[in-house]
Amino acid sequence: MATIPFFGRAWQLSVDTQDSNHYVARSLVAQDESPLRIAFTVDTYMLLAYWRAEITLYNLAPQGQPLKSGQGQQPNGSNQSGGQSLAFNQRIIAGDAVALSAGYENGLAGAFSADACLLFAGRVFQPVWTRVNVVDSLVKLRCICGLMEDSLNLISFPMAGGATYYDTLNEIGTHAFGLSFSLDADSGSIDKLKQSRYSRAQALHGKPFDLMQDIMRQSTLFSWMTPAAPGSGKPPTISVRNFEEAPEVPDISYGPPGLAGPYTTGGTTSGLVKPTIIGVPEQTQNGVTFKVLMDSDVRIGKVVQLAPGTIINPYEFTPMSNYPPVPSRNGLYIVAGIRYVGDSRGRGDDWYTEVTGVLWDFFPSFIGASSAVI
């Protein structure tokens, strides 16, 4: 019997506290009668220094009350009934590591996987404990991710004469994160970063964001930082992209439900469109904004394609105003922003991913008009 895709809301929230405890709250628990509920909003945009998430957990186990088997994990990572409860609402403090994953019990790729469905990984900025409707307690975690040293510390290091901007970017990441750091740059970005060299020795001192922004501005590149999930063993990544050449091949293709026949997008791995668009895409001055079923595959910097006819551009022209926006001729857009919205007990359109895509020529125009930002 075939498995129905996009069935059952699945999620997992893990917290690594600074006192070396590891807690996990998740769905997919057989015969789980707990009132545990999660709601979240995650905003990740290319033009922001920090990404943010607001995660709310309802009705965690009270202090000292044991959990049912599978409902949560003990501080040492075991998964057993009894013992210490998941009352980490009294243990979370600013700076603790948080990872949020969400998707479907059965998706296109099969069963839910927390690693594959990671939406956000960052640090707690402000924990809030409160109660609603008298009987419901909740823990609200306001989280951010980015170069934390940008607001907490400065870095200082020397660069020898002849060092390239590529070398400098690696040094910034190393001093900000330590040795566990990864630089993900495409070939065009690497070429640009290696073209510029220091004529003499330099002493760089400042916040990582400011130092990186200066390199990006001078090299007409865009970059963003993606932290790794706590406990994953993977390093945080700084991605750098060169958008001076128009993309021709999409990474992901989307279309409306019930799309007739397999719409082929040349160059994609499967050649098939994801029929997961919700509602009608909204055309913007720089591209398009559209919603799809909860999807962790789409990432900042990826190229997405909308099936033909998904966007219908009405002819609107008002004298003494700008020309109306024109959709992409080939349906290709570069992902510049993603918002995840979820409610595990929701009953409507509250488990989705909102994608902000921009036309390719947005980047040359933006860089030409002002400085690039991270």
pLDDT band at 2 (very low <50, low <70, confident <90, very high): very low
Of 293, 204, 191, 282, the C-alpha closest to 240 is 191
Provide the β-strand partners of residue 253: 305
Q: Inform me whether the pLDDT recorded for 229 exceeds 80.
A: no
C-alpha distances in angstroms, 143 versus 1, 43, 140? Answer: 41, 11, 9
Q: Which residues contact 152 (CB under 8 A, 6 or more apart)?
A: none
Q: Which of 65-79, 108-122, 200-214 is the least confident region? A: 65-79
For position 150, what pLDDT does the model report?
A: 64
Q: Which stretches of the chain are assigned E, i.e. beta strand?
A: 7-16, 22-26, 37-45, 51-58, 97-107, 110-111, 118-132, 136-145, 155-159, 182-185, 202-206, 222-226, 237-241, 252-254, 277-283, 287-293, 303-306, 332-343, 351-358
> Could you give the CA distance from residue 122 to residue 160 in angstroms, rounded to a whole number?
33
| pLDDT tens digits along 24-33 | 888 865 444 5
pLDDT band at 1 (very low <50, low <70, confident <90, very high): very low
For position 338, what pLDDT does the model report?
A: 96
Average pLDDT over residues 15-43: 78
Helix (H) or strand (E) holding 274: none
| pLDDT tens digits along 134-162 | 777 888 999 988 776 666 678 899 999 99
pLDDT band at 269 (very low <50, low <70, confident <90, very high): very low
For position 30, what pLDDT does the model report?
A: 47
> Could you give the CA distance from residue 18 to residue 222 in angstroms, rounded to a whole number?
33
**pTM for this structure?**
0.82
Q: Inform me whether the pLDDT recorded for 129 exceeds 50.
A: yes
Taking the CB of residue 312, how many other CB atoms lie within 10 A of it?
Answer: 9
Q: Does residue 90 or residue 275 have the better pLDDT?
A: 275
DSSP string, 304-318: EEEPTTSS-------
Name the token pair of 154: 């400065």
Average pLDDT over residues 53-73: 60
